[in-house]
Amino acid sequence: MIAPSKFAKIFLLVFACLHLVFAGIFAYKTPYRMPGMLIGQGGKPSPASDIGAPDERQHANYIRFLLKQHTLPVLVPGSPNVGEEYESHQPPLYYALSAIPAAISGQTDVETPAFGQGVRDFNCLIGAFGIVGVFFAVFWATKREDIALVGTAFAALLPMNCALSGTISNDPLLIAMISWSFAFCAKALGAEEDKDVAKPFLLAAVFAGLACLTKSTGLVSIAGLAFTGLYLRSCLPVAKIAGLGFVAILIASPIWIRNQLLYGDPLAQKVFKLTFTTSTKKEVITGIIDMSGAAGSTEAQYWINWVGYWTARSYIGAFGYVDIWLNASGKAITSDRHPDPNWLYKAILALIAVAKLAFWIDVRNRYKDISKAIWVGLVISILTLLLFVGFNMTYFQAQGRYLLPCLAPTAAILGIGWMLLFRSKLMPALILVSLVFGGTTVYALSNLSEEFISRTATN
C-alpha cells in the first residue's frame, strides 16, 4: 500500500499540533470544579455545582477512586453520593491511563486545579493521537492524501472536538480507539496482496477491543470489524477471520464479565439508568412543547426543533455544560435583535451539508467504485447515530459530542465531498476548511473567558 508523502506528513503534524494547542487553551480557560450559574440553556438561570464541562466531576472522581483504592468503583443506585459517582459504571481504560501521570506527578487531590490541569493536558495528547488516527483512516480508506488532509483539517479544528480534548472525559480516547480500529479495517480492505491482510485486521480487532474497554459505545467498532470480516472472506479463511476478530471480544470480556456479575448486565446500562436521574427526560421537553402551543406534531417538534437543532449546533460547538453558544448572546435561545443570531452555525452546517450532498451524489453515480472501507465507515456512523437516537428517546441529551465517535468516517465523507466540490484542487479546499473551522475555534476561545466570568459572577 502507498504511504503518505512527506508533504502530507508535514501537514498532518501541523494539524495534530494545532489540535493539541487549541485543546490546551480550552483546558486552560475552562473552570475546574467551579460552581456558578447556567444561564445559556434557554430557561431561567439555574445554580450548578460545576460549570466547566459535562460530567467532568464524575470522570475525575473515578480517577480519584482508582488512585486511592487501587480497584474499580461500583455504582450503587440510591447512594447518597450517586450524583458524584454515576460514571462509576464506565469501563476502566481511560481512567487507568489518566491515573498514571497523576500518580507520577504527585497531583492526586482531585479538588485541586493542578490535578484537573494535569489530567486535561494528558487528554489533549490523546486527542492529538486521535487526529493522527483520523488521517490514516481516511488515507487508507480512500488511498488519496488530499482527501485525508481535508478530512483531517475538519477533525482537528472542529471547535467541539478541540474543547472535548481539553476536558477530563473518556470521549477523546474512545474517538481515538474507534478511529484507529477503522483505519486498520481500511488498511486490511485496501491490501494489495492477501498476505498483507491479517496483520492490519488483527490491529483493527485490538483497537476495537480497547474501544470497548473505554466506553460501551465502542461496540460500533465491533460492528465495523464484523462488516470488514465479511469483505475479507475472499482473502482469508473464515476461521482465521473469526479468530482474529475474536481478539476484540477477548480484550473487552473482563469488564463485560465483571459487569454481568455485579449488575446483571454486561454493559451496565441498567444500573446507569437507575442513577442518571438528574438529566432532563424526554417527556419534560415534550411537555414544554405542548404548553407552548407550537403548531405541528409534538413528536416532530421534539426531534427536529429540539434534538435536531440543538445537536447540530452543539456538534460545531457548545461549551461549558452545553451553556455557551457561538451566537450573538452566547445563549441557546436568544431574543437578540440581531437579524440572525445563529448565522455562524447555519453557515458552517450549510458547508457540511453541501459536502455530504456531493458525497451522496457521487455514491449514486459511482456505486460500484466506492471503497469498501467507506461502507464500513457508514456502518459505524449509522450505528453511532442509532445509539444517540436511542439515548434521546429516554433523555433529552442533544449534545453533538455523542456523534464524535464516528469522527473518522465523517471526516472521510466530508473530505470526499469537499474535494468533489473543488474539483480535486487540494489547496483551495484545505484553506477554506482550515479557515472556517480554525477561525471558528479561535472565535470561540476569544469569548470563552468572558462567558465563564459571567456565569461565576452571578453565583
In a domain, 310, yes or no: yes
- In sequence order, the β-bridge partners of residue 318 are 325
- 156 close to 150: Cβ distance less than 8 angstroms: no
DSSP secondary structure string, 307-361?
Answer: IIHHHHHHHHHEETTTTEESSSSSSSS---SSS-TTHHHHHHHHHHHHHHHHHHH
* 126 contacts: CB under 8 Å, gap ≥ 6: 97, 165, 172, 173, 176
Cell of 294: 407550537
Q: How many domains does the chain have?
A: 1
* 2 contacts: CB under 8 Å, gap ≥ 6: 143
In a domain, 163, yes or no: yes
In a domain, 367, yes or no: yes
- pLDDT for the residue 334: 67
> What span, in angstroms and rounded, lies between the C-alpha atoms of 397 and 35?
21
- pLDDT for the residue 154: 98
In a domain, 257, yes or no: yes
In a domain, 114, yes or no: yes
Helices 219-231 & 198-212, crossing angle to 10 degrees?
A: 160
- pLDDT for the residue 335: 62
Identify the domain containing residue 251 by its residue range: 6-457
* 227 contacts: CB under 8 Å, gap ≥ 6: 375, 376, 379
In a domain, 259, yes or no: yes
In a domain, 1, yes or no: no
Among the listed residues 205, 236, 232, the one whose alpha carbon sits nearest the alpha carbon of residue 221:
205
3-state secondary structure of 111: coil
3-state secondary structure of 46: strand
Per-residue pLDDT of the chain (459 residues; tens, 9 = 90+): 688 999 999 999 999 999 999 999 999 999 999 999 998 776 678 899 999 999 999 999 999 999 999 999 999 998 888 889 999 999 999 999 999 999 998 888 999 999 999 999 999 999 999 999 999 999 999 999 999 999 999 999 999 999 999 999 999 999 999 999 999 999 999 987 878 899 999 999 999 999 999 999 999 999 999 999 999 998 899 999 999 999 999 999 999 999 999 999 999 999 998 888 777 889 989 988 888 777 788 999 999 989 999 999 999 999 999 999 998 778 877 666 677 889 999 999 999 999 999 999 998 877 667 899 999 999 999 999 999 999 999 999 999 999 999 999 999 999 999 999 999 999 999 999 999 999 999 999 999 999 999 998 754
> What span, in angstroms and rounded, lies between the C-alpha atoms of 12 and 269?
37
- pLDDT for the residue 145: 96
Give ∠ CA 262-267-269 in degrees, rounded to 5: 90
Q: Give the pTM.
A: 0.96
Among the listed residues 86, 99, 27, the one whose alpha carbon sits nearest the alpha carbon of residue 58:
86
Q: CA 446, 451, 453, 455: dihedral to nearest 10 degrees?
A: -160
CA 389 to chain CA mean position, Å = 15
